[in-house]
Amino acid sequence: MSSDRGRNEPWKAVQASTLAELFEWYDERYPGLEMGAGARPAIVVIDFSIGFTRGSAEFSAGQYPDEVRATRRLLDAARGRIPVYFTTIAYDPDMKDAGLWFCKLARINALQKGSREVEIDEDLAPQADEPLIVKKYPSAFYGTGFEAMLRRDNVDTLIITGCTTSSCVRATTVDSMQRGFRTLLAADAISDITPLLHAIHLRDLGARYADVKNVDELVTYVGSVGDWGWRSAGRAAEIAALAPERDLS
């Protein structure tokens, strides 16, 4: 491989003053078209687990208290009306299930099954009938039963909250759109390790892959949704069959 770091690191040639130009370019190129919301939405909360929201000696957290509170407000409006799902990242002790991602991101070694870091933040008060998708990679869809759960609940719109905008939120957003789900990003319930990463990726996702809404708009939206019969007697059994990995002990 070439050792020419100048060619391998072109971002070093870009000056910070060009950020305003980047957003101006988005405003000119993308006129703000929307895919719109459907009649059968669900919420997925991406990786608001203790490791990410509160951290530990082994895993440094982001600063997401406002986003967690905004997510809880949305959940309070949505519970009993539409499906709610959570995701967490959790690995076996030998990390063999982390694949090549572990080569690039060694810190995920702290996200072990059975550890407090992988538990969903208690401020969100996850309910017993809200599936927990245990994932190994950024997207909630990759290598999980998540899409099958959405299909069985007859969902047509996915509302996304959580972290981080540039990684797991981004991957889930693109995969959601590609699978035919109308995708809404709860802007004030999503965040990243740095405000700059969050701003750039949220602007890009909103330009090309999803509609960006605030929690006030989404609370009104979920409050207007009628019941389409997603709460079936067999739902718990289906969840267990589709996501046997959800036991994190």
What is the count of structural domains for the chain?
1
Query: In this predicted model, what pLDDT tens digit does every residue of 100-145 receive, in sequence order?
Result: 999 999 999 999 999 999 999 999 999 988 999 999 999 999 999 9
Please say if the pLDDT value at position 5 is more than 80. Answer: no
pTM exceeds 0.75, yes or no: yes
pLDDT of residue 63: 86
Domain housing 50: 37-244
pLDDT of residue 244: 45
In a domain? residue 154 = yes
In a domain? residue 25 = no
In a domain? residue 32 = no
In a domain? residue 103 = yes
In a domain? residue 14 = no
pLDDT of residue 57: 82
Query: In this predicted model, what pLDDT tens digit does every residue of 212-229 receive, in sequence order?
Result: 999 999 999 999 999 888
Contact in structure between 49 and 91 (CB atoms under 8 Å): no
Query: In this predicted model, what pLDDT tens digit does every residue of 13-70 receive, in sequence order?
Result: 666 557 777 788 878 888 778 999 999 999 999 999 999 999 888 888 888 999 999 9
Active site residue 168: yes
What's the CATH number where 50 sits? 3.40.50.850
Strands 182-191 vs 211-213: parallel, antiparallel or unpaired: parallel
Write down the catalytic residue from 75, 168, 184, 185: 168
Distance CA 78, CA 243 (A): 23
Contacts of 20 (CB under 8 A, 6+ apart): none
In a domain? residue 12 = no
Average pLDDT over residues 187-202: 94
In a domain? residue 30 = no
In a domain? residue 78 = yes
